[in-house]
Amino acid sequence: MHYIDVFNGDADGICSLIQLRKANPQKTRLVTGVKRDIDLLKHVDAMPGDHVSVLDISFDKNRSDVQRLLHQGAYIEYFDHHYRGMPVNHSRLKTVINDELPTICTGLIVDQYIGGQFRAWALVAAFGDNMIASAMSLGKDAGLSHESLRTLQHLGIYINYNSYGESLSDLFYHPDALYRQLQQYDSPFDFLREDPVIYQTLDAGYKEDFVKAKTSPYLYQSVDSAVILFRSEKWARRIGGVYINDLANQYPERAHAVITEKTDNTCTVSIRTPLSRETLPADQLARKFASGGGRKSAAGINALPADQIDLFIEAFKTHFS
């Protein structure tokens, strides 16, 4: 009987699994990837009695593999906050999914599930998913100072930043290696004190990429929405997703899209609903395109054909005006 942990390579995925495995230690096989690699369950095969834990990847995108693994005799526990779609009922499947609230991430769902035992890691997860208000209020309730919370926020942003790329070679750290490093510490504060190099590396990379991001052209800009184009370069593939969070925080009235060219004549698109008017869900717009998906406040399209950029911009303008 084997344990297999399948998790998104971003801060929310990594910090969700840290909490789960601290609360329930097991020797496990890890399956993860870049942030946009979300149909991860297709890489998993199970034997009868195997335990598969899935964190922070859409149930909707993995449903057929959930059914296949159940058929193979696996037990599955599934924690997530992305679009679920049609549920599956099975005695060996346990789902802890909340795709209703834009203020809850997988890290906070796992935090509730294990009774808040490793809360600081849950806060890193929430900051990574840009759920600042949730993280701040939960952190203050836990008695953390504003300065400590800022520290966790930076760590969340940097781990999230590390997960963006077209392939693993764009990343500073492979998410499974990063998980193994972080997992050694009961608290992110211990990690930061005892192993400062990872943080320093991501901090330097982030700042360097961010300076370059600011020079990127706007394809469209109005008072209530903005679309930015990033060329196909390593730094652009890394910074796009966190740069857009920064813009969303800076201009809460505005909807944002960052289009990043890939090497195969398609683009990835990141979309953020205006924080101050969460009227029209971003995932609704994203799902109008073949490889689109995500959440109400943050969504994306994994492979938009380059010749559909204009089509997307029109749909984006209509959706958010």
Contacts to Mn ion by CB under 5 A: 12, 56, 105-106, 129
Sequence-separated (6 or more) residues with CB below 8 Å from residue 104? 81, 98, 131, 134
Residue (21 or 35) nearer to Mn ion, CB: 35
We find the least distance from the C-beta atom of residue 265 to Mn ion, in angstroms, to be: 29
- One-letter identity of residue 161: Y
Residue (75 or 161) nearer to Mn ion, CB: 161
We find the least distance from the C-beta atom of residue 12 to Mn ion, in angstroms, to be: 3
DSSP code for 40? G
Q: How far is CA 8 from the centre of its chain?
A: 7
Q: Taking a C-beta distance cutoff of 8 angstroms, is the pair 274, 222 a contact?
A: no
Handedness of CA 199, 200, 206, 209 (dihedral sign): negative
Q: Taking a C-beta distance cutoff of 8 angstroms, is the pair 239, 206 a contact?
A: yes
Residue (39 or 233) nearer to Mn ion, CB: 39
Residue (70 or 110) nearer to Mn ion, CB: 110
User: Nearest residue to Mn ion, using CB?
Assistant: 12
Note the maximum CA span of the chain: 56
Residue (11 or 239) nearer to Mn ion, CB: 11
We find the least distance from the C-beta atom of residue 126 to Mn ion, in angstroms, to be: 9
Among 185, 190, 181, 240, which residue's Cα sits nearest to residue 214? 240
DSSP symbols for 63-77:
HHHHHHHHHTT-EEE
Gyration radius of the chain's alpha carbons: 19
Give the span between the Cα atoms of 18 and 54, in whole angstroms: 13
With H, G, I as helix, E, B as strand and everything else as coil, classify residue 53. strand
We find the least distance from the C-beta atom of residue 111 to Mn ion, in angstroms, to be: 13
We find the least distance from the C-beta atom of residue 127 to Mn ion, in angstroms, to be: 11
Residue (46 or 293) nearer to Mn ion, CB: 293
- Report residue 27 as tokens: 């020797």
We find the least distance from the C-beta atom of residue 259 to Mn ion, in angstroms, to be: 22
Sequence-separated (6 or more) residues with CB below 8 Å from residue 112? none
Residue (53 or 225) nearer to Mn ion, CB: 53
We find the least distance from the C-beta atom of residue 318 to Mn ion, in angstroms, to be: 27
